[in-house]
Amino acid sequence: MSANTSRKQRPDNEEQSGHGEQRASPARLSLGKKQLPPIPKNATPITKPASSGTPAQSANGTHASYGPFYLEYSLLAEFTLVIKQKLPGIYVQPSYKSALMWFGVIFIRHGLYQDGVFKFTVYIPDNYPDGECPKLVFDIPVFHPLVDPVSGELDVRRAFTKWRRNHNHIWQVLMYARTIFYKINTTEPLNPEAAVLYEKDVQLFKSKVVDSVKLCNSHLFDHPKIDDPYAISFSPWNPAVHEEAKERMFTCKRRPEDHHKGMQVSGLSWVKPGSTQPFSKDDSPPQS
């Protein structure tokens, strides 16, 4: 099985390469050597904070002309944090069309939902980070007390009653989405049936879960629900396509070190590790 986006396949936690591709998206204005992610003009959901006139925004000091940068970078920063967290079994990728929509997939490796592969989409409010907490919607409603059986939306709000801009991060939402599959909570469920079954008849619950997991996995190779170049799509293993990518993934791990050696390093240090004295290394300078 291979996770594959419709563009070049690249799991999100594979450092900057993923970033780079996003940047190099075709429709964007090129400014010579200074290439940056400009304001995504084709991004539908972004509303100019200033024009929306929310007092919260102006209080934050997001100026009209810098708002887009601000939002964009806030989200990029969030994404960076996600990558740094190295959440086990979770992969996300912002959509091509809007930075406010992230596609994700979560692999459950043990427990009741073992072998489950659940695709989901994160919707970030456009006044992020001042608004509500992001929404997380599973593509296929998983059978779970906290997942709405119709819409597939996860009850995130119970974990983040109030979204605090400096304390809450999207990786926490993702983390939460993972936790619910390992530690099941049945209070105030969105799916009362699942909750009741879990409490009263665990066996039935389990079989329902297995069915649900099977259902999800059977739709794994379906076209992504949302048509987006960066939407996560799966395809059956095809050596012609995937072998090379797999190869690259494995070699990638070794590369950084080679990278180090070959590179012209401009920095200098004669500080002995663990010391805070300058020139404490053994080959310190010959003063006398």
Partner 1 sequence: MCHVINFKLCKRRRRGEGEEGEEGEEGEGGGTVEEIETRLTHSSRTAGARLARPCGLGSSSEASSCLQSPGQESDVGPIKMMASVGVRGARKKSLTLRGVDPETCMIVFKNHWAQVVKILEKHEPGRSGAGALSFLSGHTSSPSGSGALRLGPIPADEASAVQNYVEHMLFLLMEEDAGQGGAMGPILEFVVLEGVMERLFLWSLRRQFTEDMKLEQLRMYQMLLSQAKQPLLHHKPVLRPLMMLLASCAGAGTDSGGVVEAELVLLLNQLCVALVKDPSVLELFFHTSEDQGAANFLLFSLLIPYTHRQGSVGQQARDALLLIMSLSSSEPRVAQHIGESTYFCPVLATGLSGLYSSLPARLQVYSEDWHCLDQADWQQVPALVHLLHSLDFCGAVTKVAHPSIRSQLLSYIYNGFLVPVLAPALHKLTVEEVMTTTAYLDLFLRSISEPALLQTFLSFILLHTHDNVHILDTLVSRVNTPFQLGTVSLALFRTLIGLFCEDVMLQLVFRYLIPCSHLSRKQRSSLKQMGLLLQQRRLLPAPHALLVSRADLSVSDSVGYCRGSDFLMDVNYLHYLSDARQAISESHRACRLWSAPYDGINPSCDDNRSETPGGDVDEEEEFEQRVKSDSICSLVTTPPPSALSPTPSSSDTVSTSYQTGRAGSALELEWDDIFEDDDLTSSVMMNSGFANGTVTLGPPPPLPPQHIQEMRRSAIKLVHGSYVEESEFQDDVLVYDLVAQKDTKAAMLERIMAANRLARGSVSHGQQAPTAVTTSTITTMLTQTGRTVMETVNSIMSTRRRGEDGEREERIGSEVCGEEVKRRSEDGEREECRSETGRRREEEEDQKIRPESQGETRGHKVFTNGFDVKNHIISECDDADEDRQSLKKSCNQIDLTTNTTVHHKHTTHQQLLYPTMCLGTNTLPNGHNGSEPHYTTTSQGLPDNKVKNNNGFLSQYQDLMLSLGVEPDCDDIAEDIGTFRRRVRVLRQKLLEEEEGLFQESGCSSSWEDGEEEEEAMEEVEEGEETKGSRRNGVPFTGPFISVLLSRLENILENSIAVNLLVTGILAQLASYPQPLLRAFMLSTDTTHTQPNVRTLYQVLVSVHAQVERYVAARADYPALVTQAWRFLLVKDQDSKFRECLESHSSDIILDPSLPNGSVRNALALPPLGVLPPCPPIPPQAKSRVFAIVLFAEFLKELAAIAQEHSVALDCSPEE
Q: Which of 60, 185, 186, 235 binds partner 1 (CB under 8 A)?
A: 60
Exposed (0-12), middle (13-18) or buried (19+): which is 266, by Cβ within 10 Å? Answer: exposed
Measured distance CA(36)–CA(15) in Å, rounded: 18
The window from 59-67, 118-126, 191-199, 212-220 that contacts partner 1 (CB under 8 A) reads: 59-67
Q: Which helix (H) or strand (E) holds 199?
A: helix 192-200
Q: Rule CB under 8 A: which of 229-258 touch partner 1?
A: 256
Of residues 17 and 218, the one with the C-beta less far from partner 1: 17
Nearest approach, Cβ of residue 219 and partner 1 (Å)? 33
Measured distance CA(69)–CA(10) in Å, rounded: 25
Q: Which helix (H) or strand (E) holds 196?
A: helix 192-200
How many CB atoms lie under 10 A from the CB of residue 225?
Answer: 15
Bridge partners for 3 per DSSP: 234
Of residues 135 and 272, the one with the C-beta less far from partner 1: 272
Task: Report if residue 16 touches partner 1, rule: CB under 8 A.
Answer: yes
Q: What is the DSSP string of 220-237?
A: TTSPPSS--TT-EEEE--
Q: Which helix (H) or strand (E) holds 104?
A: strand 101-107
Task: Report if residue 27 touches partner 1, rule: CB under 8 A.
Answer: no
Measured distance CA(34)–CA(94) in Å, rounded: 23
Task: Report if residue 81 touches partner 1, rule: CB under 8 A.
Answer: yes
Which of helix, strand or coil describes residue 8?
Answer: coil
Task: Report if residue 38 touches partner 1, rule: CB under 8 A.
Answer: yes
Of residues 42 and 114, the one with the C-beta less far from partner 1: 42
Task: Report if residue 28 touches partner 1, rule: CB under 8 A.
Answer: no
Task: Report if residue 221 touches partner 1, rule: CB under 8 A.
Answer: no
Nearest approach, Cβ of residue 168 and partner 1 (Å)? 10
Q: Which of 65, 114, 151, 238 binds partner 1 (CB under 8 A)?
A: 65
Binding mask 263-282 for partner 1 (x = CB under 8 A): x-xxxxxxxxxxxxxxx---
Binding mask 143-182 for partner 1 (x = CB under 8 A): ---------------------xxx--x-------------
Is there a contact between 192 and 150 (Cβ–Cβ < 8 Å)?
Answer: no
Task: Report if residue 84 touches partner 1, rule: CB under 8 A.
Answer: yes
